[in-house]
Structure 1
Amino acid sequence: MKKLMLLSIAALAIISCNKETSAPEKMKTAYVDTSKLLEENTEAKDIEDKYKVKSEEMGRELRGEASRFQSEAAAFQQNAQLKGQAWAQAKGAELQKREQELSMKQQAMLQTLQQQSGKEMDSLIKRIKTHIKDYGKKNGYDYIYGTGDAATVLYAKDAYDITAEIAKEINEQYKGTAKKEEEPKTEEKK
């Protein structure tokens, strides 16, 4: 009886191993060059231009203060010998304090610009990732890989590159959003 039981278990095991499995579906994959996508992204360029202008405006303000400081420092050099050592020490300490304040102001401005632009770029990247995910679902992709600065694909055929398609869709979507934002402004002026 034990032999019969072992034979039937062995037969079941052999039969179950011989089952034909259905062929797996062909997977649809593609990749996006993320660094190229950001280079060609209209909104990213607009963000970069916006903060370049802000940086130049803040730089002009700082340059004005710095030139006033330099002229005071030059005057200090001339007056230090005439007005004596006590005056020179007091004025020197005051100038040092102003120099530190200028430096701190410059650092604060740079940090503010970096934080603001960083928030906008993070938001943009989040929207791009969402768009790629939606694109993949809409077009039946199983996987969409990313290449670029943080490469997750070491090699892919160019035929799988959908960067241009994604960039075109995102830029068109951004242009549509930008037009919607501009329309109320032109109506208000009328």
Structure 2
Amino acid sequence: MKRPFLVLALSLSVAGTTLFTGCQQKGGDAGKTTTPNTAVTADSGAVATTETSATSTPAATATPTTATAPNQKFGYINSAELLKVMPETKRAEANLEAFVKNLEKQFGGLQSEYQTKITEFQSQEKTMVDAVKETRIRALQDLEQRLQQSQVSGQQQVAKKREDLFKPILDKAEKAVKDVGKENGYDYIFDTNTGSFIYAKESHNIMPLVKAKLGIK
């Protein structure tokens, strides 16, 4: 009998995924959030300000170089560091870990049942008549299929659970950054973790000008 792939590949970490997709995708607003998996990559967890009159274009690097007019106000933040210090993140991580452990327990029971039946079949196979042997083989194949389906289902459940747990945290963090940007007169806020802008003042959105140039109403 073929032995199934029995490793439930479920990730428990929250390290490595971008938190905010950046303003480039929506003109003046930040992009949609994604579920986190963040890696600590910078020292700053607070908004910092820089005023510049440089003429270069934005680059997706650890420090932004941006074309600006005099007196434009720029800030930056490391979204990974921000998520790391939010108390909601630790609670979400603990909740996700408990959820995964429960799934692994269920999967382990099914795996144990399969291994037991495989052992029984192998020890009795030589004395079985063909009809009984075929029936036992079909039963083992059905159980193997259940194992594989359980693994796929478990991965999907973990992905959904992670999204359900972390989306409200991401939304809260992004809203806080945008509020700080508006309340403190920032033109742009740059995310050093993702290399993109989290916040951009709506007045800098050139979509209306480009539509007018193209004759689009």
Tell me if TM exceeds 0.5: yes
Partner of 2:158: 113
Report the Cα offset of residue 58 of structure 1.
Answer: 1.2
Structure 1, unaligned runs of 5 or more: 1-23, 154-190
Q: Counting helix residues as a fraction of each chain, which structure ranks higher?
A: 1
The answer as to whether partners of 2:82 and 2:173 remain within 8 angstroms in 1 is no
How far apart, CA to CA, are the structure 2 residues paired with 1:115 and 1:104? 17
Q: How does 1:34-183 map to 2 (within 5 A)?
A: 34-148=79-193, 150-152=194-196
**Percent of aligned pairs with the same amino acid:** 24
Q: Is the 8 A contact 1:136 1:143 kept in 2?
A: yes
Which runs of at least 4 in structure 1 moved beyond 6 Å after TM superposition? none
**1: distance between equivalents of 2:87 and 2:144?**
40
SS in 2 for 1:135: helix
Taking the aligned partners of 2:99 and 2:141, their CA distance within structure 1 comes to 28
Which residue type is aligned with residue 141 of structure 1?
A: Y
Give the deviation of 1:130 after TM superposition: 0.9
RMSD: 1.9
Task: Give the Cα separation in 2 of the matches to 1:134 and 1:100.
Answer: 51
TM-score, normalised with respect to structure 1: 0.61
AA partner of residue 46 (structure 1): R
> How many aligned residue pairs are there?
129
8 Å CA contact 1:80–1:87 kept in 2: the answer is no
Structure number with greater CO (CA < 8 Å, separation at least 6) is 1
Distance 1:77 1:85 in 2: 14
Provide structure 2 residue ranges, at least 5 long, that are not aligned to the other structure: 1-68, 198-217
**Retained in 1: the 8 A contact 2:78–2:192?**
yes
Deviation, structure 1 residue 26:
2.1
- Give the whole-Å Cα distance in 2 for the aligned partners of 1:99 and 1:56: 21
Partner residue of 1:14?
Answer: none
The CA deviation string for residues 143-189 of structure 1, in whole angstroms up to 9 with x for no partner, is 211121x2127xxxxxxxxxxxxxxxxxxxxxxxxxxxxxxxxxxxx
CA deviation map 1:113-153 (0-9, x unaligned): 211211332332122111111112223322211121x2127
Q: Give me the whole-angstrom Cα distance separating, in 1, the residues matched to 2:175 and 2:89.
A: 16
SS of the residue 1:31 aligns to: strand
TM-score by length of 2: 0.54
